[in-house]
Amino acid sequence: MESLVFSLNATVPVFLMMVLGVLFRKLGWFDQDLAKKINRFVFRILLPTLVFQQLAEADLSQLWDGRFVLFCFGAASFAIAASWLLSLLWRDRSVRGEFIQAAFRGNTALLAVSLLQNMYGSAEVAPLMLLGCVPLYNVMAVVVLSLCREGGGEKPSVGDTLRDILTNPILIAIALGLLWSGLGLTMPPIMAKTVDNLACMASPLGLMAIGATFEMKKVLGRSGPVTAAAGLKLVGFCAVLLPVAVLMGFRGQEMAAICIMLGSSTAVSSYVMAVAMGHEGVISSGAVMLTTLLSGFSLTGWVWLMRALGFI
């Protein structure tokens, strides 16, 4: 019972913030245009600020765990490869591209920080987990959507692809945070307070914006690939890789971060990138909505199981 209460306390507040986004849209306080602008603001400003803060204030000489970073990279690589193989079940190449990205690319940064802060009062290992998977996620999303496309949209050049990767706000934040911490710099009080104020807004604002973008009717048109992608994202990868993490000896906050990385909902940016690169976007939006709706329950289940077994 204690493990269940612990798990619910960690996941339900995050899920309720998304429910608030749905409610605010119903009341007319949020609309689709506002929610999209908020998502862009969170992605470009607030979330990078939060990631930078976590890294800049961390003592990497004490926090660094190359084994943990390599595991996150390997787990992300496995998820991408498995999604690509399963995508061969569909003949339509454009369906494959959206399916692959929706299955492997999670809302990892936003949910990891939110859940770890709820569970432990801090998110010390979140930057290391992000370092292990976020660069790979962003690079492979561009590659997959470029290769798996049937007509429509201009194929990006190598230069455009590299520019998109190198200008990714989260990757820039990781690089700046690592540099700041590595140089042993300290923030002046005014800067520290400003950074903290921006970072504190990232999770609640981002989660409410996700909720405000729900349009469940779109899921029905592509139920096959949407359901398959959601199953992999919420259940499949956790079922395969969490036992591996246990055998490798990961425990506590590291195990919680791995659980969140593998079982988080599909990233909202998946839809934005899919449409921008000439895809229909229906599978991406459907996977985002379905996994976001169900992740409050599935993640609670995984966290409860890991907690009950003594691994978290």
For 219, which DSSP code? G
- The range of the structural domain enclosing residue 160 comes to 2-307
What is the per-residue pLDDT for 1?
57
pLDDT confidence of 152, banded at 50, 70, 90? very low
CATH, residue 112: 1.20.1530.20
Residue 213 lies in a domain: yes
pLDDT at 63 over 80: no
Burial of 276 (0-12, 13-18, 19+ CB in 10 A): middle
pLDDT confidence of 124, banded at 50, 70, 90? confident
What is the per-residue pLDDT for 228?
95
Q: What is the number of domains present in the chain?
A: 1
pLDDT at 229 over 90: yes
What is the per-residue pLDDT for 3?
54
Residue 312 lies in a domain: no
pLDDT confidence of 96, banded at 50, 70, 90? very high
Span 239-296, pLDDT tens digits: 999 999 999 999 999 999 999 999 988 887 787 778 777 787 788 878 887 887 788 7
Residue 40 lies in a domain: yes
What is the per-residue pLDDT for 140?
87
Using CA atoms, how far residue 95 sits from 35, 89, 195, in Å, is 26, 10, 40
Token couple for 227: 């359901």
- What is the spatial distance between Cα 122 and Cα 145, in angstroms, rounded to a whole number? 35
Span 15-57, pLDDT tens digits: 788 789 889 999 999 888 888 788 788 878 988 898 788 778 7
Q: What is the mean pLDDT of the chain?
A: 83
pLDDT confidence of 234, banded at 50, 70, 90? very high
What is the per-residue pLDDT for 6?
62
- CA atoms in the 13 A half-sphere facing the CB of 202: 28
What is the per-residue pLDDT for 218?
65
Encoded amino acid at 103, one letter:
A
pLDDT at 4 over 70: no
Average pLDDT over residues 128-153: 78
- What is the spatial distance between Cα 175 and Cα 2, in angstroms, rounded to a whole number? 39
Query: Contact, 226 vs 293, CB < 8 A?
Result: no
- What is the spatial distance between Cα 237 and Cα 133, in angstroms, rounded to a whole number? 14
What is the per-residue pLDDT for 156?
56
What is the per-residue pLDDT for 233?
95
Closest CA to 117 of 256, 282, 15, 273: 256
Query: Contact, 68 vs 250, CB < 8 A?
Result: yes
Token couple for 43: 């992605």
CA torsion 133→154→44→215, rounded to 10°?
A: -90
Residue 187 lies in a domain: yes
Residue 260 lies in a domain: yes
43 CB neighbour count, 10 Å cutoff: 22
